[in-house]
Amino acid sequence: MALTEVKHQKGAAISLFERIAGQPLANTDRVTEAIQVRLMRPAETIFDQDEPHPYVYVVETGLIKLTYLRADGEQWIKSFALEGRFFASLSALLPAGRATFSAVAIEACRLERIPFSTLQALVDTDLGWSRMLSNALLFLAERKERRERQFLTLDPEERYRSLIAEEPELVARAPQKDLAGYLGITPVGLSRIAKRVRVEAEARLNPG
């Protein structure tokens, strides 16, 4: 069971939202009063697929995987979230909406959870908060578009090399089975690719 406490000082969420907006934000006290801190253990579920869950999360510490669950029980990892990032199921933020994926802690995590209704009220009345939400949605759309392009145009080894170049910390921290699920290959296939890439890197460092 996750421990929950109310957080009343400026924390990770406000800092991240101001970076996304590109400016200081007004009325941040309304957000800080609504923030709950959730402490998650490794392998603990933050929310489940098909669950009503109208919240936005900011990762203060830890690593989370966002997963789709198929009818046969197989998981497909859509993305990861680590320190300094936010996540939410956009479908669950709609009226009467439900999450289209699950969120599960890989590491022990400290998360800040904000009711979307709190953010929506600020977005409706403040230009800075409106800009923040617009920029946040563009960020999510760009990541989704990039991932789609990689799956459609790159083979598994190219996807792995791209992930190393773009997110080396994620590659170092995520379990290999989760990285394999994210890249759309088997753990055995990823192990072979990772070994080949590692051997090439060692050869470049130690020519001859």
- Give tens-digit pLDDT for 135-155: 999 999 999 999 999 999 999
pTM score, whole prediction? 0.90
Contact (Cβ atoms closer than 8 angstroms) between residue 81 and residue 110? no
Taking every pair of Cα atoms in the chain, the longest distance, rounded to a whole number of angstroms, is: 65
What pLDDT band is residue 4 in, cutting at 50, 70 and 90?
A: very low
Contact (Cβ atoms closer than 8 angstroms) between residue 124 and residue 32? no
Give CA separation, 76 vs 2, 25, 121, 183, 186, in Å. Answer: 24, 36, 34, 9, 11
- Both tokens of residue 84? 């300094």
Which pLDDT belongs to residue 208? 59
The CATH H-level superfamily of 3-141 is: Jelly Rolls (2.60.120.10)
CA distance 200 to 184: 23
Which pLDDT belongs to residue 33? 95
Question: Would you kindly state where each structural domain of the chain is located, as residue ranges?
Answer: 3-141, 154-208
Q: Decide if pLDDT at 1 tops 70.
A: no
